[in-house]
Amino acid sequence: MTVHQRQGRVSPDALRQTPAQDPASPEGPPTDTDEASFADHLEAAQEQTDDIELSGHAKQRVAQRNISLDASQRQELADAMTELDDKGAQDAAVLREDAAFVVNVPSRTVVTALDQTEMQQRVFTDIDSAVRL
């Protein structure tokens, strides 16, 4: 709402109907005025699009173990969780060539992450399913 609208006055330009702005247009979406960093916004956008969450523990393990988890890899995890959910899985191991993730399927949450070295030394317990990407 503009100042003119608040005071009961509306400029002639405001009365013209304008098409809804396309977020992909060069002008882009309206700017956000909060103090969050670009990385915060990027992470929030990724979480919204792939519909998975990383527990605090999983975030620590991914960082400590230098496991890559870019947007396409997050989407692969999300797709695997959807497939596991369709099969009725509750807790599962999702195996990649370079890493493994233990996930809680109903909450779509990554519980922990292991790198390739740790995958060779670990036993997965309390899972009912596994899928290989």
Asked whether residue 105 is domain-assigned, the answer is: yes
Indicate whether 86 pLDDT > 50.
yes
The mean pLDDT of the chain is 79
Asked whether residue 119 is domain-assigned, the answer is: yes
Q: How many folded domains does the chain comprise?
A: 1
Asked whether residue 40 is domain-assigned, the answer is: no
Tally the C-alpha atoms within 13 A of residue 64's C-alpha that lie toward its C-beta.
10
Q: Whole-model pTM? A: 0.63
Domain that includes residue 103, residue range:
52-133
pLDDT digits (tens, 9 = 90+) for 28-85: 555 555 567 777 766 665 555 568 999 999 999 999 999 999 999 999 999 999 999 9
- Give me the helices (H) in 87-125, please: 116-121
